[in-house]
Each structure stands twice: as structure tokens, then as C-alpha cells.
Amino acid sequence: MSRSPITPEPIYPDRPASLRAWVDVDLGAVRRNADRLRARAGVPIVAMVKADAYGLGMVPIARALGADFGEAADAARAPNAPWALGIATLHEAAELRRHGCVARVLCTTPLTVHDVPEAQALQVRPALHDSATIGAWLAMQGGPWHLAIDTGMARAGVRWDGIAALRETLHDARHVNPPEGVFTHFHSAEVDDGSLAVQDARFEQAVAAIRDLLPEGVLVHSDNSAAIAVGGASNARRRHLARPGIGLYGANVLPSLPLEQVVRVCARVIDVRDMQSGESVSYNATWQADSPRRIATVALGYADGYRRALSNRGVALVHGVRVPVVGNVTMDMTMLDVTGLGAACVVGDVATFVGRDGLDVLRTDAVAATGAISMYELLVGLRLRAPRFYVDTPSVGTAGDASGATNDPPSSEARP
């Protein structure tokens, strides 16, 4: 076998010399995806920025979406800003507040009684569903809160068919601090199996059972990205907020609502070598050359979030051409068969593993499907090691439906 000669030129000419792999995040695409999801839902959105905005950077994403950080520039973004930011931990809320975010923050993961003082101090709107925690929140005059109802997800919220157990607690809250909102979460909105309709009916049943204890202006919400794509702007279920997550970040949950690719995962070619027939690549020799091949080693591995499940399955783009991943993805490096590129692939070239290069694009959802992994896990894993860079591209065409939603929930007359 033979290696390509060592180049005297720096192999990272447009990045710091120490940079081997990186993640580009298109804030303009995030913003346009939010606009399209809002228009499709026909109601304001709670932008889910939990898990560091699905691995892409919670604070930069929140700023790009127009969330209020107490700065004069935020006023110009206000008409399209999310109604609130959605989080899962109080640590995430603290991080937003530490950076000056004064926007509404909704924590959709249950809190314990011990979490209540910190949630109040951070001005978080908690999702509550049991008498003890609701009682503690009321006793502390904690502020706005949302009632979580489980309609089949079976992970959090009061069961739809057991909500009568909360009537006494809700009665106590009615004239003191009633819930600002009431919500559920769909487990399979992207699957045409009838489960969304079942959960929706359960939710309506539960809300109707406590309607007399809810304020007239209570905000009812249920739709994640997939449910927004299914429901459209007709708002047939008469919701007042929607909670997109993965759709903001460019995953096409359903063909009916195409969204822009947000992420580009890149790394440098750090070695190119020729191999003979029968020689193997990487750990456990899971790939063997069936003819003379040219193999490029790229400085990206599972420690950067490129999953081992993509071994011998994934593809990358080099000079806009698709080339296969060969051998097992290792912690720090991945190998590509660049035989088809001939001498065009050299040390220092950029390989794109997610996102666009030239006329071709490897979409986040497609890459995840190739490895039979969750696109959520793929995105979240990108925060492991590779640094993130932010760009703000202009729109290249119309994005979104004709219907527009303001930043204010619908009037109380439209509420069930």
C-alpha cells in the first residue's frame, strides 16, 4: 500500500490549525423552519430548545428565534418570536437566564416538590400533575404553571381517566393560581396508526372533565412537529399553542411539511492511502477490499457524534460526490472509499457527513435512517466534541404556508 505524500500546505486553511471536525448550524434555516411550523399550526409556538437545542446550541438558537434577551434588538424580532421556550431541566433554565434571557420558559418535564423553589426563582412555568407538587407551587405563589395530562405516552402527567383525583386540588387553585395551560404529548403523531386520534379524544375528555375548574383563558396545547404536519393550519383540534422540536432543526418528520436542512457536519481528510485486494479496514476487519481501492481517513468519529451504527452503511460527500463509509467508525476517525475520485481526493479536503456539499445534501433524517438510529440521538450527539459554527443564510425561496400566526394566542372565544 502507499500513502499520499505529506503536503507542505496547512490542512485546515479556513479554520484554526487545530480544528479537525466541526458542525455548522444555519440559524437562518432554523428561523425559517420556525416560521413554517408556526404558519402550518396557525398558532404561536413554544420552541423546544431542551438538550442544548437538540445539540445545536440553546442560547444561539433562542436568540435566532427572536426570544427576548432584554436587548433593544429583540424588539424587532418580537412579532415572530416564540410564545415561550421549552426546556426539560432547571439547569437549562438557569443557563438561559444567565445569558440574559427574559422570555417565558416552560419546563415540560415533571418537577419534584424539592425543585419548586428553584423553579420559582428562575421564573419557570412548570408542568405539574400531582397534588403534592401543585400544592407546593400554590403555597409558594409560584406563578403561571401548566397541567400535564397523560393520554398514552405513559411517562408523565395525570392519566386522562384519573383526572378526577385532581378536582379538589384544582378547586383550591381556581381562585388562587389556576393553570395557565393544559397539555398532552402524542407518542406517534408521525405514524398513520390511529393513535393520534385516540390520544386526542382522551385529551378532550380529560379537559372536559375539569372544564369548570379551568380559567376561561386557559391555553390548550398538544402538537409536536409531526402533529403540526398532520394537523395543518385548520387547527381542527382548537389548540392555542404548538410545541415544535425536531422540526425546527431540519428533520423532515413527514413529507407533507418539508423543512430546511439546518446542520452540516464536516471533517478534514487527514490521510489517503492505496489498498490491495483482500486488505481490510478498521477494527474487527469488517470491510475488505475486493479490488485495489483508495481509502481516505477523515478526522471524525463517534466521539464527535458520528455514530458507530453508520459503519459500512453511511456515506459522505467529498467534492460533492457520495462516497461510502468503509470499516467500523472509530472514536476519532472514519474511513471512506474514495476510489471513484481518483487523485482528486487529497489530505486537507473536506468531507461532509451530514448536510450539503455542492448540489447534493445528506439530510439529518436520511443519515439517521441509514444507520437505523434515531434522528434525535444523532443531533444531540453532535455536541460531544466537535465545535459549532453559526451561519445565517438568507432565504432561497418561499418557506411556509400562506396562513400566518401572530405571537398572541387565539382569543378565549375560540377555546374549548
Which residues are known catalytic residues? 50, 283
Contact 262/33 with Cβ under 8 angstroms?
yes
Which residue, among 80, 85, 104, has the nearest Cα to 28 in the 3D structure? 80
Which residue, among 382, 108, 391, 89, has the nearest Cα to 251 in the 3D structure? 382
Look up residue 280 and give its amino acid: S
Q: CA neighbours within 13 Å on the CB side: how many for 103? A: 33
- Residues with Cβ within 8 Å of 333's Cβ and at least 6 positions away in sequence, in order, are 270, 297, 298, 299, 300, 301
